[in-house]
């Protein structure tokens, strides 16, 4: 299977930064590094096999990868690449995912 290039929405970049900063401020650099490692591991898996994770029932080509019980990645599969739409903090109101 062809490896897809990842692209990131502005929203996803802001969410990654926000979550990383929260972890750093609440816990430690080690916790932040662990989170980022897990996040990048899953981004690599998405790039290598985008259909591996569950598809959304709300929007065509929208998929969800659960990184941890606190974080999920939402992404759209395009012809040549994968667009990371959101790195969602699962502790938020789930209705916020309806506008993805």
pLDDT value for 75? 97
Instruction: Measure Cα distances from 64 to 22, 71, 74, 89 in Å.
Output: 22, 10, 5, 12
Return the number of other C-beta atoms located less than 10 Å from residue 6's C-beta: 16
Residue 32 has pLDDT above 70, yes or no: yes
Spatial distance between the Cα atoms of 93 and 30, rounded to a whole number of angstroms: 28
Residue 94 has pLDDT above 80, yes or no: no
Q: Which two tokens stand for residue 47?
A: 């790039």
Residue 89 has pLDDT above 80, yes or no: yes
Which letter does DSSP use for residue 11 in this model?
Answer: H
pLDDT value for 55? 94
Residue 96 has pLDDT above 90, yes or no: no
Overall average pLDDT of the 57-73 stretch: 91
């Amino acid at each position: 299977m062809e490896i897809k290039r990842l692209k990131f929405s502005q929203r996803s970049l802001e969410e990654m930064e926000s979550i990383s900063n929260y972890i750093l401020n609440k816990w430690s650099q080690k916790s932040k590094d662990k989170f980022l490692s897990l996040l990048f591991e899953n981004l690599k898996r998405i790039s290598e096999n985008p259909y591996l994770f569950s598809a959304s029932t709300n929007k065509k080509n929208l998929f969800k990868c659960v990184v941890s019980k606190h974080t999920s990645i939402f992404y759209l599969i395009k012809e040549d690449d994968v667009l990371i739409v959101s790195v969602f903090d699962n502790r938020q109101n789930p209705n916020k995912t309806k506008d993805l």
